Protein backbone atom coordinates (compact mmCIF):
# COMPACT_ATOMS: atom_id res chain seq x y z
CA UNK A 1 0.00 0.00 0.00
CA UNK A 2 1.36 3.38 -0.90
CA UNK A 3 0.82 6.61 0.95
CA UNK A 4 -0.75 8.03 -2.21
CA UNK A 5 -3.54 5.43 -2.16
CA UNK A 6 -4.11 6.01 1.54
CA UNK A 7 -4.56 9.70 0.93
CA UNK A 8 -7.03 9.03 -1.88
CA UNK A 9 -9.19 6.92 0.38
CA UNK A 10 -8.86 9.34 3.26
CA UNK A 11 -10.35 11.92 0.96
CA UNK A 12 -13.57 9.95 0.73
CA UNK A 13 -13.87 7.69 3.76
CA UNK A 14 -12.98 7.29 7.34
CA UNK A 15 -12.96 10.91 8.38
CA UNK A 16 -15.47 12.87 10.40
CA UNK A 17 -16.30 14.83 7.26
CA UNK A 18 -16.76 11.72 5.13
CA UNK A 19 -17.84 8.69 7.16
CA UNK A 20 -18.95 5.54 5.40
CA UNK A 21 -22.64 5.97 4.75
CA UNK A 22 -25.32 6.34 2.09
CA UNK A 23 -23.75 9.54 0.77
CA UNK A 24 -20.11 8.42 0.83
CA UNK A 25 -20.07 8.76 -2.97
CA UNK A 26 -17.86 6.94 -5.45
CA UNK A 27 -14.82 5.29 -3.90
CA UNK A 28 -11.89 4.77 -6.27
CA UNK A 29 -10.17 1.42 -5.91
CA UNK A 30 -6.50 1.38 -6.94
CA UNK A 31 -4.14 -1.57 -7.21
CA UNK A 32 -6.30 -4.34 -5.77
CA UNK A 33 -4.40 -7.14 -4.08
CA UNK A 34 -6.93 -9.98 -3.69
CA UNK A 35 -9.36 -11.91 -5.91
CA UNK A 36 -12.52 -12.13 -3.86
CA UNK A 37 -14.86 -13.75 -6.40
CA UNK A 38 -12.30 -16.21 -7.78
CA UNK A 39 -12.49 -15.11 -11.44
CA UNK A 40 -8.73 -14.66 -11.68
CA UNK A 41 -8.86 -10.85 -11.63
CA UNK A 42 -7.69 -8.88 -8.63
CA UNK A 43 -10.72 -6.99 -7.32
CA UNK A 44 -10.26 -6.30 -3.62
CA UNK A 45 -7.95 -4.55 -1.21
CA UNK A 46 -7.97 -3.40 2.37
CA UNK A 47 -7.36 0.01 3.85
CA UNK A 48 -6.84 0.95 7.47
CA UNK A 49 -7.60 4.48 8.54
CA UNK A 50 -8.84 6.14 11.68
CA UNK A 51 -8.96 2.85 13.61
CA UNK A 52 -11.24 1.25 11.02
CA UNK A 53 -10.32 -1.47 8.50
CA UNK A 54 -12.06 -1.20 5.16
CA UNK A 55 -12.32 -4.15 2.76
CA UNK A 56 -13.23 -2.68 -0.63
CA UNK A 57 -14.13 -4.72 -3.73
CA UNK A 58 -14.58 -3.64 -7.36
CA UNK A 59 -16.29 -6.69 -8.83
CA UNK A 60 -17.24 -5.14 -12.19
CA UNK A 61 -13.71 -3.73 -12.72
CA UNK A 62 -14.77 -0.16 -13.45
CA UNK A 63 -12.20 1.26 -11.02
CA UNK A 64 -14.70 2.07 -8.28
CA UNK A 65 -15.63 -0.02 -5.28
CA UNK A 66 -18.99 -1.83 -5.38
CA UNK A 67 -18.84 -3.42 -1.93
CA UNK A 68 -17.22 -2.12 1.24
CA UNK A 69 -17.07 -3.74 4.64
CA UNK A 70 -15.86 -1.57 7.51
CA UNK A 71 -14.52 -3.30 10.63
CA UNK A 72 -14.04 -1.15 13.69
CA UNK A 73 -11.47 -1.69 16.40
CA UNK A 74 -14.08 -3.07 18.80
CA UNK A 75 -15.06 -5.77 16.27
CA UNK A 76 -18.26 -4.24 15.00
CA UNK A 77 -18.70 -4.36 11.24
CA UNK A 78 -20.97 -2.92 8.58
CA UNK A 79 -21.24 -4.03 4.96
CA UNK A 80 -22.32 -1.64 2.23
CA UNK A 81 -23.22 -2.04 -1.44
CA UNK A 82 -23.13 0.74 -4.03
CA UNK A 83 -26.07 1.50 -6.28
CA UNK A 84 -26.14 4.08 -9.06
CA UNK A 85 -29.43 5.97 -9.10
CA UNK A 86 -31.35 7.32 -12.08
CA UNK A 87 -29.65 10.66 -11.45
CA UNK A 88 -26.25 9.05 -11.95
CA UNK A 89 -25.23 9.51 -8.34
CA UNK A 90 -23.82 6.57 -6.38
CA UNK A 91 -25.49 5.79 -3.09
CA UNK A 92 -24.60 3.12 -0.59
CA UNK A 93 -27.05 0.73 1.05
CA UNK A 94 -26.06 -1.12 4.20
CA UNK A 95 -26.49 -4.85 3.60
CA UNK A 96 -25.24 -6.24 6.90
CA UNK A 97 -23.98 -5.26 10.31
CA UNK A 98 -22.90 -7.09 13.42
CA UNK A 99 -19.95 -7.97 15.59
CA UNK A 100 -17.04 -10.25 14.78
Count the residues of the shown chain that bind Ca ion, applying the rule CB under 5 A.
5
- Count of Cβ atoms closer than 10 Å to residue 54 Cβ: 21
Stretch that binds Ca ion, among 3-11, 32-40, 41-49, 58-66 (CB under 5 A): 58-66
CB of 62 to Ca ion, least distance (A): 4
**What is the distance between the alpha carbons of residues 63 and 7, in angstroms, rounded to a whole number?**
17
Stretch that binds Ca ion, among 38-46, 48-56, 63-71, 91-99 (CB under 5 A): 63-71
**What is the distance between the alpha carbons of residues 43 and 29, in angstroms, rounded to a whole number?**
9
DSSP assigned state of 11: T
Helix (H) or strand (E) run with residue 9 in it: helix 3-10
Nearer to Ca ion, 60 or 87 (CB): 60
Q: Is 62 in the site for Ca ion (CB under 5 A)?
A: yes
Q: Is 66 in the site for Ca ion (CB under 5 A)?
A: yes
* Nearest alpha-carbon partner for 31 in 53, 4, 54, 13: 4
5, 10, 30, 64: residue in contact with Ca ion (rule CB under 5 A): 64
Q: Is 58 in the site for Ca ion (CB under 5 A)?
A: yes
Amino acid sequence: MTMHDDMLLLGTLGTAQHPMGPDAGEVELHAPTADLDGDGLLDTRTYATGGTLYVASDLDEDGFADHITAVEGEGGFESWQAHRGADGEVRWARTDRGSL
